[in-house]
Amino acid sequence: MAKRASVIPGTLQRLGNLPQDWGLITTCTGSGTFEIALSCVADALGNFVPADCMKLFHVKELMASECEKWKQNLLSAHVITSRTSCLFADVTELGNADARYCVKHKTNCAVPSKGNAMALGSGFSCKSLSKLQNDGGLFKRAMIDKNQESSSYRTFAATLDLAESVAPLWLILENVDLGDCSNADSNGATISRLLSEAGFVTRDYDNDAFLLEDDDDTITAELERREKSKRDREKRRQQEQDEDDYDYLEAHMKGDKWKSLHMSLANSRGKLSIRTKLNIGFCQLEQT
């Protein structure tokens, strides 16, 4: 991408004019895909900045929002690492100063000020957008009715409210059904219209344009890795099963051995006690 961009007239000059620090805000952050992707873009574009600029781009995570506990832990440990960056628990409460809670600072923090963010990225809930949804019109009706029962509406509306508040240079949305805007009534077209009404210039990207070829080395390597991982898991599972079977058989055999030994000893003790009593009795008779 960076190589293709470098041949477009004016690109190098525009790169030179970009700020060095790229402030990033994300909602429905997940495991940090936006942060990682934008960092890769910054590193790649930095290689094509005019030599006299001596500029390297750096992505600075200003804040994120994620409701899943395990993802919060992952983000805090590996992605949202700056002490000043906030990690909020609920995107729908970002507009309420008394309700928004930062899980990093354990208090109600403020969202970034307007103009500090270069980009806002969101992978908002896809439940109502998915084509597997039984009621395909749920999202469109939810947008019209402002239906809080739709998680897609709630997370998208909250993200749009935040975008209007912080005014990022770029607003990047990712979801399962945003690429098809050919139908004026499609989910993608509905979202593009709402973004336009909010003052954003929209551009739609087809996922197929960014997919690698089936025989690409990266795809082949990943498939091989997954196949090996699958074989290793199956091997471990079989080993664990064999160990369980061995432990059970060993315990069962030990149980039988101990049972036989106990029965043998019990029988032996019983016979010895009888003989001992008889011998004692005979001794007493002979003495008398």
- For the segment 238-268, what is each residue's pLDDT rounded down to a tens digit? 888 877 766 666 665 555 555 565 556 555 5
DSSP β-bridge partners for residue 88? 65, 102
Least confident of 66-70, 127-131, 242-246: 127-131
pLDDT category of residue 88 using cuts at 50, 70 and 90? very high
Please, what are the domains in the chain?
2-211 (3.40.50.150)
SS (H, E, C) the chain: CHHHHHCCCCHHHHHHHCCCEEEEEEECCCCCHHHHHHHHHHHHHHCCCCCCCCCCCEEEEEEEECCCHHHHHHHHHHCCCCCCCEEECCHHHCCCCCCCCECCCCECCCCCCCCCCCEEEECCCCCCCCCCCCCCCHHHHHHHHCCCCCHHHHHHHHHHHHHHHHCCCEEEECCCCCCCCCCCCCHHHHHHHHHHHCCCCCCCCCHHHHCCCCCCHHHHHHHHHHHHHHHHHHHHHHHHHHHHHHHHHHHHHHHHHHHHHHHHHHHHHHHHHHHHHHHHHHHHHHHC
The percent of residues in the chain predicted with pLDDT above 90, rounded, is 20
Instruction: Please report the pLDDT score of residue 139 as a whole number.
Output: 66
Res 186 pLDDT > 60 = yes
Res 58 pLDDT > 90 = no
| Assessment of whether the complete model's pTM goes beyond 0.75 | no
Which of residues 246 and 39 earns the better pLDDT score? 39
In whole angstroms, what is the distance from residue 165 CA to residue 62 CA? 14
Least confident of 2-6, 64-68, 107-111: 2-6
Least confident of 57-61, 76-80, 128-132: 128-132
Instruction: Please report the pLDDT score of residue 133 as a whole number.
Output: 57
Average model confidence (pLDDT) across the chain: 76
Region 169-197: mean pLDDT is 75
Which of residues 135 and 230 earns the better pLDDT score? 230
Instruction: Please report the pLDDT score of residue 212 as a whole number.
Output: 66
Res 274 pLDDT > 60 = no
Region 130-134: mean pLDDT is 58
